[in-house]
């Protein structure tokens, strides 16, 4: 469904979220026929196979089986490397179905003089991703990758990672299987590390 659907929003909002189920049906933010808004919290996570955003000719989603991000047809994997060992944060045998999506928005007021435009409210970014608890080669990770699509700025990954022990390693980003970025990202046991990375398309 996500892979075959028309990648354009059909409501007055640049991107809409879509959850795809194992039976081939899906729950879009706005119903294709009635255009009625659907409840995100009604998403049936145990049936979910893909989740993401659709709009502007782009399909940005992740696979619930493995948590791989597929952004505009490119696969992104995230790996933590420490002491020559690679801990794959994507691709584990775990349900990556704890879905997250939200929009960043703002409302303005000009209080120091009368404002004819009243209080315009607008979306500044669209976000989606997930959070997951993993156990990889004996290390427990809490992993929360979010893809953020802001207006007037490049899209980026906002990655939060917590491990249950000290690790002096690197966060590695692979695109279509090839390593394209590496960041020194030392972790202290139980303390979250956070990295923002502008997506290289």
Partner 1 sequence: MSVLQPLVSWYAETNGDDEQVTRWDLGIVDASQVSQDFTFLIWNNRKGTEDVPDMQNAVIMTKDEWGGNTGELVEGQWIEVKVDQIDTTFHPIGWDVDTNQAVSRPIKTLGSTTNEDGTFTPNVPPHTTQNGEISILGVKNDGTLENAQGNYVKVSLHCRVPGNASAGAVNFRTRVTYQYV
* Phi, psi for residue 168 in degrees, rounded to 5: -100, 85
Asked whether position 68 contacts partner 1 by CB under 8 A, the answer is: no
Judged by CB under 8 A, the residue of 56, 85, 115, 188 near partner 1 is: 115
Q: How many residues bind partner 1 (CB under 8 A)?
A: 34
Asked whether position 44 contacts partner 1 by CB under 8 A, the answer is: no
Asked whether position 106 contacts partner 1 by CB under 8 A, the answer is: yes
Judged by CB under 8 A, the residue of 1, 7, 21, 40 near partner 1 is: 40
Judged by CB under 8 A, the residue of 22, 105, 189, 191 near partner 1 is: 105
Nearest distance from C-beta of residue 8 to partner 1, angstroms: 15
Of the listed pieces 9-17, 82-90, 168-176, 187-195, which binds partner 1 according to CB under 8 A?
Answer: 9-17
* Phi, psi for residue 37 in degrees, rounded to 5: -70, 135
- Cα separation, 166 vs 164, in Å, equals 7
Residues 6+ away with beta carbon under 8 Å from 111: none
What residues does 174 pair with on adjacent strands? 77, 179
- Cα separation, 186 vs 184, in Å, equals 6
Of the listed pieces 66-74, 79-87, 95-103, 174-182, which binds partner 1 according to CB under 8 A?
Answer: 95-103
Of the listed pieces 49-57, 59-67, 84-92, 110-118, which binds partner 1 according to CB under 8 A?
Answer: 110-118
**Could you tell me which of 127, 148, 125, 141 has the C-alpha nearest to residue 185?**
141
Judged by CB under 8 A, the residue of 4, 24, 33, 41 near partner 1 is: 41
Nearest distance from C-beta of residue 117 to partner 1, angstroms: 10
**Could you tell me which of 154, 135, 155, 134 has the C-alpha nearest to residue 144?**
134
* Phi, psi for residue 42 in degrees, rounded to 5: -85, -5
Nearest distance from C-beta of residue 52 to partner 1, angstroms: 14
What residues does 95 pair with on adjacent strands? 65
């Amino acid at each position: 469904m996500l892979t075959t659907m028309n990648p354009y929003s059909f409501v007055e909002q640049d991107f809409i979220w879509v959850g795809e189920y194992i039976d081939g049906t899906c729950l879009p933010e706005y119903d294709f026929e009635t255009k009625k808004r659907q409840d995100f919290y009604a998403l049936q996570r145990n049936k979910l196979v893909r989740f993401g955003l659709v709009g502007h000719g782009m399909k940005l989603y992740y696979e619930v089986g493995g948590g791989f991000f597929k952004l505009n047809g490119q696969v992104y994997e995230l790996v933590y490397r420490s002491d020559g060992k690679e801990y794959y944060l994507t691709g584990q045998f775990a349900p990556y179905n704890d879905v997250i999506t939200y929009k960043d928005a703002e409302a303005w007021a000009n209080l120091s003089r009368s404002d004819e435009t009243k209080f315009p409210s607008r979306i500044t970014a669209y976000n989606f991703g997930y959070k997951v608890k993993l156990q990889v080669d004996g290390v427990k990770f809490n992993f929360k990758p979010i893809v953020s699509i802001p207006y007037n700025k490049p899209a980026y990954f906002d990655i939060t990672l917590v491990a249950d022990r000290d690790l002096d390693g690197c966060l590695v980003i692979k695109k279509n299987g090839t390593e394209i970025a590496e960041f020194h990202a030392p972790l202290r046991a139980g303390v979250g590390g956070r990295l923002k990375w502008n997506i290289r398309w």
